[in-house]
Structure 1
Amino acid sequence: MFDLLKVAAHGLFPRLLMGAAALLGATAAQAAYPERPVRVIVPFAAGGGADIVARLVFKGVGEQLGQSFIIDNRGGAGGIIGTDAVAKADPDGYTLLLGQSGPNAINPAVYSKLPYDARKDFAPITQLTSYPYVVAVKNKLPVANLRELIELAKREPGTLTLSTAGQGSSSHLAVELFTRQAGISVIPVPYKGAGPALLDVVGGVVDMTFGDAASASKQAEAGNVKALAVTGSRRSPLLPNVPTVQEAGLPGYEASAWHAVLAPSGTPQPVIQTLHAAIVKVLSDPQLKARLAQDGIETVGSQPADFQRALETEIDKWKKVVDEAGIKLE
């Protein structure tokens, strides 16, 4: 009793009550999240792969949390515009980013200046997906497997042409990593997108490409190209008989693209945890897995800390490739 009277005499008791009330109020507010629609910025145009993934995943998240998740497409500048908008948004959980390997891991390596810091300006929530590229060559190229392709490139250095989805794109850097590890030299031919890059391999205009699994597998099944390997750490379900680059003779090689969900740095942890739990539950749905598998995409659902470590590893990995290749974009 004496202690309580002493506390009250010093005016501490009212302050303790006020602090407890504030804490309870903050907890209640966070527990109610989300109380209004959440905006998910996709830094690419509608209809593309990132947009499709965002709409599939956040439809389910909205059902889980009983609130609307509105997809906001803000394409332009290789994903920089939309990504920067999230970096500068209020960290309240009501603006999220559909991240991708390009804007979040590769742009920091290829651009000398970015309006955002990919390591510090975002709170990781989870990696959604992972998907490989397919090493596809034109039918008339006299090779039957990846080892023969590497041997041909070594016999005729600087003569084989290889189309990419654009200078500094994810597929371009996957190519640069491949040529350095294989010790070969090719002529990169940048296109405005993976589709045109693959079509010119089908037409025999260029010798090969690193294409997306969905499109390249269809062309391979139709007999229009030869699929020699996939760039991921394991085989693609779309091409189960096609080995990985590692299996085909280049140990240690791995290059995969991915999607992820991030929030502005400083977003409260209870909000991050609520979103993470809902997203991971959606990713476990067999129907969603089957739908994404049609495009050669696998679901992941990592913990926030694990994704942050993976992201920083990716940034360092591609920075080394970019520096060695002398690639810079302004």
Structure 2
Amino acid sequence: MQTKKTVTALALAFASTLAAANWPSQPIRLIVPYAPGGGNDSISRLVAKQLEEKLKVSVVVDNKGGANGTIGMNLLKQAKPDGYTLGTVPSGPFDVNPTLMGSVPYDPAKDFTYIGPMVKFPLFLAVSSSAGVKTLPELIAKAKAQPGHVTYSSAGIGNSTHLAGALLAHATGTQMTHVAYRGTGPAAVAVLSGEVTFTFGSGPSILEYVNSGKVIGLGVSELTRLETEAKTPTIAEQGVQGFEASSWAGIVAPAGLPPAIADKLTKALREVMENPAFRKQVTARGMVPLSGNGQDFEAMVKKDAQKWGKLITSANIKAE
């Protein structure tokens, strides 16, 4: 019996090595679980182009949006684990949806092979110029003095921009009113027009308004100041200790991907994300490049799932 198991294991190892030796020999499909446009689509296309140069085959981005990323991730789960169908997984489908929606048609821990992280998306807190506040302590004081009167916009329920606002309210013991919009663009316009008090936005969606003086930037959601926006203080250093609410994106494959192919993919992705010229290109777009292996990425996802799951439960956030 033991000999049979050993032979089987050796046969599987040989098959995996053979598959990796011939991989890739055809185009690779990269599923992005959101519509074209936005940070996740942007980084996916940038990385896909770099992977094409590394792997010498086409890497085709396939946008499959819907249900906050759930539809795209379910499609990836059902794909053949041969290295020719991959997926960009952003914050939401793995770390938010299971708690927010109650159930999803996949298991983040069992149905995927983690390849590695790509980027973090720092969020910037911007307040309307008509709100009557110019600092974060003033915003918090206003929220405490007028419970529910301070409002914040987001790109939708369960989006990172929503959860960042909910986390700020929770961390400061205040009551703030969430107003959901259809995307980061409308959420930013709501602050510009004074419809809401503030918003959390990614660099591409809000910094141009901050830099032009149309809205007032109060802080960034990272624990340390960003190299490209060093003048912007962190929310944590302004008294909200430990505040961090960035979203992220990485690459995964269906469960059962041969380890040798997974290793090739991880190596190629790390080389892309550690390239100085590419890192500069990414940071110029308001993103923070990340580098790591599949285990690093999976650990990051699990940590975030615990954090956001606790917040969603304690704040009684419900999907509509």
Normalising by structure 2, report the TM-score.
Answer: 0.93
CA distance in 2, matches of 1:111, 1:286: 39
Matched, 1:182 2:166: no
Matched, 1:195 2:185: yes
Q: In structure 1, the residue corresponding to 2:29 is in which secondary structure?
A: strand
Letter in 2 for 1:228: L
CA RMSD after TM alignment: 2.0
Aligned position for 2:199: 209
CA distance in 1, matches of 2:98, 2:13: 39
CA distance in 1, matches of 2:92, 2:148: 27
CA distance in 1, matches of 2:196, 2:93: 27
Q: In structure 1, the residue corresponding to 2:95 is in which secondary structure?
A: helix
Residue 19 of structure 1 deviates from its aligned partner by: 9.0
CA distance in 1, matches of 2:229, 2:32: 29
Q: In structure 2, the residue corresponding to 1:312 is in which secondary structure?
A: helix
| C-alpha distance 73-218 of structure 1, shift in aligned 2 (>3 A) | same
Letter in 1 for 2:305: I
CA distance in 1, matches of 2:172, 2:250: 30
| More divergent stretch after superposition (157-166 vs 289-298) | 289-298
**Unaligned stretches of 5+ in structure 1?**
1-11
CA distance in 1, matches of 2:26, 2:280: 31
Aligned position for 1:106: 96
Q: In structure 2, the residue corresponding to 1:206 is in which secondary structure?
A: coil
Matched, 1:170 2:160: yes
Task: Give CA-to-partner distance per residue, 1:16-73, whole Å, 9 cap, x none.
Answer: 8x99788545423312211211111011112332122111111111111111111111
Q: In structure 1, the residue corresponding to 2:213 is in which secondary structure?
A: coil
Aligned position for 2:21: 31
Task: Give CA-to-partner distance per residue, 1:165-201, whole Å, 9 cap, x none.
Answer: 1112111111111111111111111111111111111
Percentage identity across aligned positions? 37
| C-alpha distance 201-281 of structure 1, shift in aligned 2 (>3 A) | same
Residues 236 and 296 of structure 1 are in contact (CA less than 8 Å); yes or no, is this contact kept in structure 2? no
Task: Give CA-to-partner distance per residue, 1:108-135, whole Å, 9 cap, x none.
Answer: 1211121111222111111100121111
Residues 216 and 227 of structure 1 are in contact (CA less than 8 Å); yes or no, is this contact kept in structure 2? no
Structure of greater Rg? 1
Residue 238 of structure 1 deviates from its aligned partner by: 4.3
Q: In structure 1, the residue corresponding to 2:122 is in which secondary structure?
A: strand
Normalising by structure 1, report the TM-score.
Answer: 0.90
CA distance in 1, matches of 2:44, 2:9: 40
Aligned position for 1:62: 52
Matched, 1:231 2:221: yes
User: After the TM superposition, which residues 205-284 of structure 1 pair with which residues of structure 2 at under 5 Å, given as runs?
Assistant: 205-284=195-274
Q: In structure 1, the residue corresponding to 2:238 is in which secondary structure?
A: coil
| C-alpha distance 100-20 of structure 1, shift in aligned 2 (>3 A) | closer
Q: How many correspondences in the alignment?
A: 316
Letter in 1 for 2:266: H
Residue 291 of structure 1 deviates from its aligned partner by: 2.1
| More divergent stretch after superposition (206-215 vs 120-129) | 206-215
**Unaligned stretches of 5+ in structure 2?**
none
Q: In structure 2, the residue corresponding to 1:56 is in which secondary structure?
A: helix
Aligned position for 2:116: 126
Task: Give CA-to-partner distance per residue, 1:228-268, whole Å, 9 cap, x none.
Answer: 01111222344321111101110111111111000111111
Task: Give CA-to-partner distance per residue, 1:269-312, whole Å, 9 cap, x none.
Answer: 11111001111111122332222212210110112111111111
Task: Give CA-to-partner distance per residue, 1:50-101, whole Å, 9 cap, x none.
Answer: 1221111111111111111111111112111111101111111111011100
Residues 223 and 242 of structure 2 are in contact (CA less than 8 Å); yes or no, is this contact kept in structure 1? no
Q: In structure 2, the residue corresponding to 1:241 is in which secondary structure?
A: coil
